[in-house]
Amino acid sequence: MVKKKRRGKPTLRHFRRELTNLERSILVIAGGGDPAEGWRTLCDVYRAAHAAGWRYGMPFDTIKVTSGPSE
Protein backbone atom coordinates (compact mmCIF):
# COMPACT_ATOMS: atom_id res chain seq x y z
CA MET A 1 0.00 0.00 0.00
CA VAL A 2 1.37 3.40 -0.99
CA LYS A 3 0.85 6.27 1.42
CA LYS A 4 -0.93 9.26 -0.06
CA LYS A 5 0.99 12.52 0.28
CA ARG A 6 -0.85 15.43 1.85
CA ARG A 7 -0.10 18.96 0.78
CA GLY A 8 1.45 20.99 3.60
CA LYS A 9 0.08 24.27 4.89
CA PRO A 10 2.10 27.50 4.64
CA THR A 11 1.58 28.01 8.40
CA LEU A 12 3.43 24.75 9.19
CA ARG A 13 5.47 24.89 12.41
CA HIS A 14 6.62 21.28 12.77
CA PHE A 15 7.73 19.12 9.88
CA ARG A 16 7.07 15.51 10.87
CA ARG A 17 7.54 12.83 8.28
CA GLU A 18 9.31 9.52 7.87
CA LEU A 19 12.60 9.86 5.98
CA THR A 20 13.94 7.36 3.52
CA ASN A 21 17.49 6.13 4.08
CA LEU A 22 18.68 8.32 1.18
CA GLU A 23 16.97 11.45 2.58
CA ARG A 24 18.45 10.79 6.02
CA SER A 25 21.92 10.27 4.54
CA ILE A 26 21.72 13.53 2.59
CA LEU A 27 20.72 15.49 5.70
CA VAL A 28 23.46 13.88 7.80
CA ILE A 29 26.14 14.57 5.17
CA ALA A 30 24.93 18.14 4.54
CA GLY A 31 25.03 18.80 8.29
CA GLY A 32 28.41 17.25 9.00
CA GLY A 33 26.80 14.48 11.04
CA ASP A 34 23.83 16.49 12.37
CA PRO A 35 20.62 16.02 10.34
CA ALA A 36 19.02 19.16 11.82
CA GLU A 37 22.01 21.22 10.69
CA GLY A 38 21.79 19.46 7.31
CA TRP A 39 18.20 20.66 6.98
CA ARG A 40 19.33 24.23 7.71
CA THR A 41 22.12 23.87 5.13
CA LEU A 42 19.68 22.70 2.46
CA CYS A 43 17.39 25.63 3.31
CA ASP A 44 20.37 27.98 2.84
CA VAL A 45 21.14 26.37 -0.54
CA TYR A 46 17.52 26.80 -1.63
CA ARG A 47 17.52 30.41 -0.42
CA ALA A 48 20.62 31.17 -2.52
CA ALA A 49 19.20 29.39 -5.61
CA HIS A 50 15.92 31.28 -5.25
CA ALA A 51 17.72 34.61 -4.88
CA ALA A 52 19.60 33.78 -8.10
CA GLY A 53 16.33 33.31 -9.98
CA TRP A 54 15.64 29.57 -9.74
CA ARG A 55 12.02 28.65 -9.00
CA TYR A 56 10.30 25.41 -8.03
CA GLY A 57 9.58 23.37 -11.14
CA MET A 58 12.52 24.70 -13.14
CA PRO A 59 15.15 22.16 -14.24
CA PHE A 60 18.03 21.84 -11.79
CA ASP A 61 20.56 22.36 -14.57
CA THR A 62 19.47 26.03 -14.73
CA ILE A 63 21.20 26.58 -11.37
CA LYS A 64 24.70 27.94 -11.91
CA VAL A 65 27.20 27.05 -9.19
CA THR A 66 30.01 29.51 -8.61
CA SER A 67 32.64 29.71 -5.93
CA GLY A 68 31.84 32.06 -3.10
CA PRO A 69 34.15 34.39 -1.23
CA SER A 70 37.24 32.67 0.10
CA GLU A 71 37.42 32.20 3.83
Q: Model confidence over 2-61: pLDDT tens digits?
A: 666 677 788 878 778 899 999 999 999 999 999 999 999 999 999 999 998 999 999 988
Inside any domain, residue 34: yes
Q: Are 54 and 61 in contact (CB under 8 A)?
A: no
Inside any domain, residue 31: yes
Inside any domain, residue 4: no
pTM for this structure?
A: 0.72
Inside any domain, residue 12: no
Question: Closest by alpha carbon to 14, among 36, 46, 47, 44?
Answer: 36
Inside any domain, residue 8: no
- In sequence order, the 6+-apart residues with CB closer than 8 A to the CB of 42 are 26, 27, 30
Inside any domain, residue 70: no
Domain count, the chain: 1
Domain that holds residue 51: 21-62
